[in-house]
Every structure is written in structure tokens, then in C-alpha cells.
Amino acid sequence: MMHIGGFFELELPLGGRHYHQGGLRLSTGRASVALLIRTLNPASAYLPYYCCEALVRPFAEASIPIRFYRIGEDLTVQGLEDVKKGEWLVCVNYFGMMRGEIEKWVERLGDSVVVDNTQAFFARPNARAHCFNSARKFFGVPDGSYLHSPAEIVPPDRANEQIEWDHLVLRLCGRQAEAFARYRTYEAGLTTQITSMSRLSEKLLATVDYEGVAARRRTNFDLYACAFGSRNRLKVERGDSVPFCYPLLAPQPVSRSRLAQFGVYVPTFWPEVLDQASVETSWERHLAESLLPLPVDHRYGRSEIHHAIQAVEESMTS
């Protein structure tokens, strides 16, 4: 029913364009995966050991058999058997910098490849493969994912109304502790329910200066690379990608709690990997334990990045 009159809704700018014009706008990355599974019903799927539980969940809930594969020290797919017709290979675009590896598998397997671009919002889709991303990983929005597929996908008939944005507003107001507590509660409540992107995120994502965001991320990444490139045990090249973070594998352990004392907060990708007590996954466990995904996003400029660099330097020597 149309509602005319009464108080005003949240005021947001008009106009603007979404970065992914051709993508199907869904609520979350896991909803994108769930919709792909519901539409195409794969016989089984290959997933990397080094991945988020949110990627595994839609397959588990749909009772799709999962086989895990390892990644090499260059983050490339290792030891994979032939992918049969009806099976999927799920490739994670780690840190937004694995385009070459992904293109190789798409060339070989075509639409048997599903690309997890949750760390690669700015990656353009390959028309031969399925891919999805997550706007929440790059911007201050309550939900949002873009799904691209060579298959005909019927979009959900309703938008996501189960959103919260208190954590976003509290963070904007500088109430960090409250914001983080609300954020964790909100994240824990996310499901694989298939809905379209919320109206709020639709509006917000049409106002982003995408060129400016991409440029800032590249500049910040390069500042870290200048400071740590020769010592980073994970050899990564930015190329022309827009990176998710600067993934630092330092030559010696760095305490996250020590970094937090400097006001630098670094997550773990992904703690659930540590539950895989297998010699075969020792490299993946080492990444989960030791890799520092240093922030490069558009909120920060040169002074903030230099502060983060100094915090890492002092934490390595303390």
C-alpha cells in the first residue's frame, strides 16, 4: 500500500549508479550462493580448506557433498582432481588479487566455476562463470551482494527487511565499543535466507564514489608494500586489482592484542580453519594463525597507514 504524508524517512541523496550494473542484487554473499544452489543443484562442490564458514554453510544446508582442496604458498589451487560434469569448483579471490588464477580455471572449466569475490568487490565478472561479492566487506551498508551468472536466475520476490544499522551509526558517532558489540550480534544472526538487497543499501550503494575508493585502496596498499614488501613471506602483487587489504605474513609473530593497544584492529581469516587439526592443512592453519590483513580502505589516508605501519613495527620488536 502507498503511504502519503507523515514524518520523513532517512534522507539520502538521489541519483548515482551501482558499480555492478548487470548483477542480481541480493542481500548477502551466502544468499547468492544459496540461490545458485537452489537454481542449479550441483552434484557436489570443491571448496578450499582456507575459507569462511559462511561459504560452507549454504552447501551444508542444501546437503550438497563437499570436498576440500588445499592451496599453495602462492594461494593457488593445489592437488585438485578432475571436476566432473555437474560438480563445482569454488575459487576464492583471496584479497582481491587472484584474477590470473581464477581466469585459468574458468578457461578450463567454464560454468563449473563459482568465484567467491567477497574480498574482491571491484573484480569484474567473467561471463562464463558464476560469481558473487559482498558489499558489507567494502562499504558501510547493512547488506548487499551482487550475483553474476551465465545461467538464468530468477530473483527473489522480496527485499531484505531483516537489517540492522545501529552498529554503522554508532561507529560513525565514535562509540566504537558499542558499535563492535552490535556488529558481532548482527553478523552472528545472518542466515542463508534468499532475499533481494535492502532498499537502504540500494540507495547507499548508488552514492559511492567508486573511482575514489579504488584509488585510495591502491595507494594505501602500496604504502604497506613499500614498508613490508621485502619482509612479507606471502608474495603478493597488486597489479591493477583493487585490494581488500594488505595481507602481511610477517617474519616473526605479531600479537593482535598488541596492535589493538595502538588502536589498530586486525581480524583473523578465518578462525574456523584452526579447527582442522590436520597435517595436510598446516599451511592453511598457519595463514589463519599468523596472517595480518592490514586495512587499506578508503576511510584512511597516509597518516593513518603510517600509524598502522609503526604499530606493526613496534609489535614485531616487542
**pLDDT band for position 231 (50/70/90)?**
very high
Evaluate if residue 28 carries a pLDDT over 80: yes
**pLDDT band for position 5 (50/70/90)?**
low
Compute the distance between CA of residue 126 and CA of residue 98 in angstroms, rounded to an integer.
13
**DSSP-assigned letters across all residues of 86-136:** TEEEEEE-GGG--HHHHHHHHHHHGGGEEEEETT-TTPPPPTTSEEEE-GG
**pLDDT band for position 309 (50/70/90)?**
very high
pLDDT at 9: 72
Query: Class of 24-205 per CATH?
Result: alpha beta
Domain boundaries, the chain: 24-205, 210-317
Q: Residue type at 262?
A: F
**pLDDT band for position 14 (50/70/90)?**
confident
Residues shown for the chain: 318
**pLDDT band for position 13 (50/70/90)?**
confident
pLDDT at 41: 97
Q: Give tens-digit pLDDT for 71-101.
A: 999 999 998 978 999 999 999 999 999 999 9
Residues whose CB falls within 8 Å of the CB of residue 73, separated by 6 or more in sequence, listed in order: 234, 283
Evaluate if residue 6 carries a pLDDT over 80: no
Evaluate if residue 157 carries a pLDDT over 60: yes
Q: For all residues of the chain together, what is the average pLDDT?
A: 93
pLDDT at 76: 97
- What percent of the chain is modeled with pLDDT above 90? 83
- What percent of the chain is modeled with pLDDT above 70? 96
Compute the distance between CA of residue 265 and CA of residue 307 in angstroms, rounded to an integer.
12
pLDDT at 81: 77
Q: Give tens-digit pLDDT for 126-136.
A: 999 999 999 99
* The dihedral sign for the CA sequence 199, 57, 281, 317: positive
Compute the distance between CA of residue 177 and CA of residue 304 in angstroms, rounded to an integer.
20
**pLDDT band for position 236 (50/70/90)?**
confident
Residue 46 C-alpha cell reads as 570443491
> Looking at residues 102-119, what average pLDDT do you find?
97
> Looking at residues 258-275, what average pLDDT do you find?
91
**pLDDT band for position 232 (50/70/90)?**
very high
> Looking at residues 196-210, what average pLDDT do you find?
95
The answer to whether 270 touches 287, Cβ cutoff 8 Å, is no
pLDDT at 274: 86
- The fold of 210-317 is Aspartate Aminotransferase, domain 1 (3.90.1150)
Model pTM?
0.95
Evaluate if residue 60 carries a pLDDT over 90: yes
pLDDT at 1: 54
pLDDT at 283: 93
Report the b/e string of 48-73 with b at 16+ CB within 10 A: bbbbbebbbbbbeeeebeeebbbbee
